[in-house]
């Protein structure tokens, strides 16, 4: 395992912001994880995990805690479980987009709507990654983690991970490092139902239709590319973390008021009804490309924040506050940031 010191973290994140890590260990071989545990045995707090850095804002002064960059790879189709679902084991560092492609090629359905989401598979339970009607909680069966409090490996059922709307117990505590994941997929020729209008329109099918998973994934990718929600699909808005805010939950009266205004309001598997943050940002009067702080602006294709040259973590946080305040003033809805903050 390779450990380096004083490594700039900015290039290891999609926002490209932030100072150095006091130490950075890169884990490529799962068998080397015990070496890392040895390396950090004197630390009083769990280390910081980093996947592809597509959902983090690193502080300008960097990170004093050891950082573990998880780059392990591997997908194993294990066979059928009792309920007929096919179990697939994935190493935490494996890119999610590659997993989605592999599953589609294997004729396995259940994750096709997650096409185009950047990041590692190990980070997916952290905020119960989801898009276009599917969430990791739909297919995740269990995770093998290192529990820094107990000092040993533990297998947790998905139900124990407290997966909710873009949240889980991993989002609230660094106690656990996800090492491997077990998913249960359907062997099926058709995707889950298409529940988003934009995807249905792209496919030219009615809402609720089921289509071959590869077609569903292509349609999702096309919709995402138009919004700059696939990394590198939009050179001008490359430095992004996707959505900066959670889609806030709204009660029934507010939901129907927002629907009347044309807002995209959707129901989620946890029973919540939510309006997209991007719609609220637009409604609050922000135009595409609006500059917020030095090097931080609204994307040129979607109502989210992106970074340019000169951006800093302090400036990004200030930009988040500017958006938050204006959305609250103009729409009455309080947004909450979805990003994970690393370091100071
Ligand atoms: C263009 C774009 C579009 C996006 N679209 C979506 C979307 O549609 N839906 C969605 O849900 N998200 C989306 N995201 C957010 C992001 O892709 C996900 O949150 C992704 O899971 C982050 O993976 P990562 O490997 O980059 O994690 P990182 O950003 O490196 O880390 C994110 C968090 O997870 C922790 N972490 C990482 N790996 C582990 C591990 N092995 N064990 C324990 N903790 C770990 C980190 O400490 C950190 O707190 C988007 C981001 C971008 C840039």
Q: Are residues 29 and 52 both part of a single domain?
A: yes
Q: Is 181 in the pocket of ligand 1 (CB under 6 A)?
A: no
- Same-domain pairing of 56 and 115: no
224 found inside a domain: no
- Give the nearest ligand 1 atom to 230 CA: 1
In a domain, 51, yes or no: yes
Q: Is 32 a catalytic residue?
A: no
| Residue ranges making up the domain that contains 302 | 235-342
Tell me if 215 is assigned to some domain. no
Residue 26 is among the residues annotated as catalytic for this protein: no
Return the structure tokens found at 216: 């569903």
Tokens of 30: 């799962």
User: Model pTM?
Assistant: 0.96
Work out which ligand 1 atom sits closest to the CA atom of 231.
1
Q: Is 305 in the pocket of ligand 1 (CB under 6 A)?
A: no
Does the residue 220 lie in any domain? no
Q: Give the total number of structural domains in the chain.
A: 3
CATH number at residue 253: 3.90.78.10
Q: Is the domain of 80 the same as that of 170? A: yes
- Last residue of some domain: 70, 87, 114? 70
Final residue in a domain of this structure, among 27, 43, 70: 70
Q: Are residues 260 and 182 in the same domain?
A: no
Q: Show pLDDT as tens, one digit a residue, over the chain (344 residues).
A: 889 999 999 999 999 999 999 999 999 999 999 999 999 998 989 999 999 999 999 999 999 999 999 999 999 999 888 888 999 999 999 999 999 999 999 999 999 999 999 999 999 999 999 999 999 999 999 999 999 999 999 999 999 999 999 999 999 999 999 999 999 999 999 999 999 999 999 999 999 999 999 999 999 999 999 999 999 777 889 999 999 999 999 998 989 988 999 998 988 888 899 999 999 999 999 999 999 999 999 999 999 999 999 999 999 999 999 999 999 999 989 999 999 999 97
Beta-bridge mates of residue 167: 164
Residues 162 and 114 in one domain: yes
Residues 160 and 168: their CA atoms lie apart, in Å, by 9
120 shares a domain with 23: no
Strand partners, 156: 143
* 338 and 290 part of one domain: yes
Q: Which of 187, 217, 249 represents a domain boundary (last residue)?
A: 187
Query: Same domain for 82 and 183?
Result: yes
Based on the residue annotation, tell me whether 106 is a catalytic residue of this protein. Answer: no
Specify the ligand 1 atom closest to the Cα of 178: 42
Contacts for 1 with CB less than 8 Å, ≥ 6 apart? 25, 26, 27, 28, 29, 32, 35, 36, 39
User: Using CA positions, which residue lies closest to atom 11 of ligand 1?
Assistant: 129
């Amino acid at each position: 395992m390779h450990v380096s010191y004083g490594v700039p973290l900015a290039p290891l994140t999609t926002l490209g912001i932030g100072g150095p890590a006091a130490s950075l260990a890169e884990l490529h071989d799962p068998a080397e994880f015990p070496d890392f545990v040895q390396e950090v045995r004197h630390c009083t707090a769990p280390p910081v995990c980093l996947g592809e850095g597509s959902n983090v804002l690193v502080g300008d002064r960097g990170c004093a805690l050891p950082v573990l960059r998880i780059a392990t790879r591997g997908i194993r189709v294990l066979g059928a479980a009792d309920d007929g679902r096919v179990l697939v084991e994935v190493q935490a560092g494996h890119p999610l987009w590659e997993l989605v492609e592999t599953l589609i090629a294997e004729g396995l359905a259940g994750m096709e709507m997650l096409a185009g989401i950047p990041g590692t598979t190990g980070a997916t339970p952290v905020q119960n990654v989801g898009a276009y009607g599917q969430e990791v909680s739909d297919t995740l069966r269990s995770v093998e983690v290192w529990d820094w409090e107990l000092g040993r490996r533990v297998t947790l059922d998905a139900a124990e991970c407290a997966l909710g709307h873009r949240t889980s117990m991993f989002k609230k505590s660094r106690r656990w490092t996800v090492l491997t994941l077990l998913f249960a997929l359907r062997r099926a020729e058709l995707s889950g139902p298409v529940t988003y209008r934009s995807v249905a329109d792209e496919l030219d099918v009615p809402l609720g239709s089921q289509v071959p998973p590869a077609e569903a994934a292509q349609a999702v990718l096309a919709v995402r590319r138009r919004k700059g929600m696939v990394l590198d699909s939009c050179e001008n808005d490359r430095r992004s973390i996707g959505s900066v805010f959670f889609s806030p939950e709204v009660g029934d009266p507010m939901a129907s008021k927002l629907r009347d205004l044309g807002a995209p309001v959707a129901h989620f598997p946890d029973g919540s009804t939510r309006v997209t943050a991007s719609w609220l940002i637009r409604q609050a009067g922000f135009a595409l490309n609006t500059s917020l702080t030095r090097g931080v602006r609204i994307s040129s294709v979607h109502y989210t924040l992106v970074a340019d040259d000169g951006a800093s973590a302090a400036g990004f946080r200030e930009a988040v506050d500017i958006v938050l305040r204006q959305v609250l003033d103009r729409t009455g809805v309080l947004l909450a940031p979805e990003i994970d903050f690393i370091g100071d």
